Structure 1
Amino acid sequence: MKIFEWWPRVQPETRDWLTEHNGEPLPPHVSADILAVTGGTTDSEWWAGESAEGPQLSDEAVDWIEAVANDEEPTPS
């Protein structure tokens, strides 16, 4: 599932956290919400995988979220 598909389906608190902490490793509640919405799938276009600090989104996903946060038209990812 692409980020533009799951973005409106996650909890508003998850979107707020992703906007405020864009590029940071995901805390368990944010990761769990995304995975619940996507049925547990992790599309490589938006999911960079695990790091020592926790799961992370890809650079493309970070850029997409930044565009949304700046009220710009994000590039489909």
Structure 2
Amino acid sequence: MEIDEWWPNLSDSAREWLIANNGDAVPATILDEIVAAGGVMNDEANWVGESGPDGFFLSDEATDWIEASANDEI
């Protein structure tokens, strides 16, 4: 499931956090909510970025999508 499919299933607070912190490492609680909302974490998902010592990051495509959504450009 891609970001435009699971985004509406997130809580308002999760969407607000993702908008306010776009590009930052995603906390485990938000990531858990994304997965529960239908976001499947695999290499084919356009929203999955890098994961490392600093945490999990959304892809550039996902951060661009969130910015566009926040600006009512979707």
Runs of 5+ consecutive residues of structure 2 not aligned to the other structure:
none
C-alpha distance in 2, partners of 1:65/1:31?
15
Aligned length: 72
Runs of 5+ consecutive residues of structure 1 not aligned to the other structure:
none
Letter in 2 for 1:7: W
Letter in 2 for 1:23: G
Normalising to structure 2: TM-score of the pair?
A: 0.88
Letter in 2 for 1:32: D
How much is the aligned-residue C-alpha RMSD, in angstroms?
A: 1.3
Percent of paired sites with the same residue? 43
Q: Which runs of 4+ in 1 moved over 4 A?
A: none
C-alpha distance in 2, partners of 1:11/1:66?
17
C-alpha distance in 1, partners of 2:17/2:47?
16
Q: 1:16-55 maps to which residues of 2 (within 5 A)?
A: 16-38=16-38, 41-42=40-41, 43-55=44-56
Normalising to structure 1: TM-score of the pair?
A: 0.85
